[in-house]
Amino acid sequence: MLEKIFEKFQIVSPHPGTCTGQQWLSDPSGTLINSYSPVDGKHLGSIFQTPSCEYNSTLETAREAFIFWRNKPAPYRGEIIRQMGLRFRNYKDELATAICLEMGKSYQEALGEVQELIDICDFSTGLSRQLHGFTMHSERPGHRMYEQYHPLGVVGIITAFNFPVAVWAWNAMIAWVCGNVCVWKPSEKVPFCAILTQRIVSEVLVENDLPEGISNLINGGAEVGKWIAEDVRIPLVSATGSVPMGKSVASIVGARLGKSLLELGGNNAIIITPDADLELAIRAVAFGAVGTCGQRCTTTRRLIVHHSIYHDIITRLKAIYSQLIIGNPMDEKVHLGPMIDEEAVSKYFDTLQILKQDQNVEELIAGGYAFSSNAEDKDKSCYVKPAIYKVPGNIDIVKHETFAPILYIMTYKDIDEAIALQNDVPQGLSSAIITRNLLESERFLSREGSDCGIANVNIGTSGAEIGGAFGGEKETGGGRESGSDAWKAYMRRQTNTINYSENLPLAQGIRFDIQ
């Protein structure tokens, strides 16, 4: 199936890992990166890691393209992005299939990810006519003041494996409509999703006779990511991934006084109150906890349940978990596909082992391999069962994000205790409360409530729409991507004062008389 898509887009193996606009660069002596499908363990192909010489030439090409692109009117840039959105609509099935087979998320979720890409194209097209500044009154006669925004230049984008194209699009489409150009380093675990995406974008660039360097792709591991973080030619680095990775990027970029936009770990909780619609609550928890096999940054990892409904919740959860279908993610009946690779599976089992050794932890639904206990069985080694454990509050293991389908349940007695449990972790991405009690929902949303960047009422923690700014606080990094006014992060702000009088009064009434 993937072979036909590769053939359609002229993707061969080993494939060049570097692209400036439409030109694919290739260093045959470079290190090879291999891509394996978590679905069946098959080798999908290899690419050449970007060597330093290609990286530097790509950055110079990008800087040249920026001079051209920034001078195009914003509505023109929006029109190009509109065409990209149409092209992604045409290739929605092909791109979703590639995501499904290379990353392992279910086909339905993969279609949803491509739809996110399309939606952000639409959003950015509209934004092209709404990049507003501000005007204000000056204290000096015959003066006026205003603020405006200008593009930054080259934007570096580092993305994680779990959303191979959507998070890139959140950044790239907004950066482009603001007049920037982009250099993208995807996760080395999903290089072909990025190559396919770049080829689709390139079609639009070629048809519009646009210069190389507006859209650039480089491939590699942490070393290549470090080049982006260290590069003074890149004023903004947007990085999505683990907390340790984000701290490294922030430190390196900050040392050169660059800007970083970070989307890091999540340790998301749902509070279920006695006034909740329990049928709605269970559906929200189920998708939040097992969607993408627990590998979303917004995955529901903690469930904070009022003690009076605890046993009812457990009964319902066991019933719905028993109906979950694990298997090939291309089968549309499947709810859980595989984890990304055996390293991720190993971390899952490490966490299960810690939980089993804790006498204060109660196993409610056991995890383990879904099909085989033999990790050498490559066809089955990445498939695991979702697990549920009752824990006594936020014990140490709960405060660490395990990127896997493990759900922790704890109980509470009053809403203040529930909110305190919700906030008592280092991460601050997404949160939710399920309740029909207006007082409880408003308290959850108040300044004394959830400390997360996302706080939902009567929906789960997962499944953000592109219209709202996406991001979180604390160890999540503080960044905001996608909708709302997140575009301002991709621009530099400038205050302008214009004197249209024949005098030169100074601000604050200062006198500086010269005879």
Residues marked active site are found at 263, 297
Radius of gyration of the chain (CA): 25
> Per residue in 487-509, is it b (16+ CB within 10 Å) or e — as a string?
bebbbeeeeeeeeeeeeeeeeee
Joined together, the tokens standing for residue 234 give 């890149």
8 A C-beta contact, residue 271 and residue 313: no
| DSSP E strands, 413-483 | 427-428, 430-434, 454-457, 469-470, 473-474, 481-482
Q: At CA 299, angle to CA 295 and CA 303, rounded to 5?
A: 135
Spatial CA neighbour of 25 closest among 2, 3, 56: 56
Name 178's bridge partners.
none
Helices (H), 104-154: 107-127
Joined together, the tokens standing for residue 5 give 């898509």
Residues with Cβ within 8 Å of residue 375, at least 6 apart in sequence: 342, 345, 369, 381
Spatial CA neighbour of 324 closest among 383, 402, 401: 383
Beta strands 469-470 and 481-482: pairing type? Answer: antiparallel
For residue 365, count CB atoms less than 10 angstroms from its CB and return exposed for 0-12, middle for 13-18, buried for 19 or more: middle
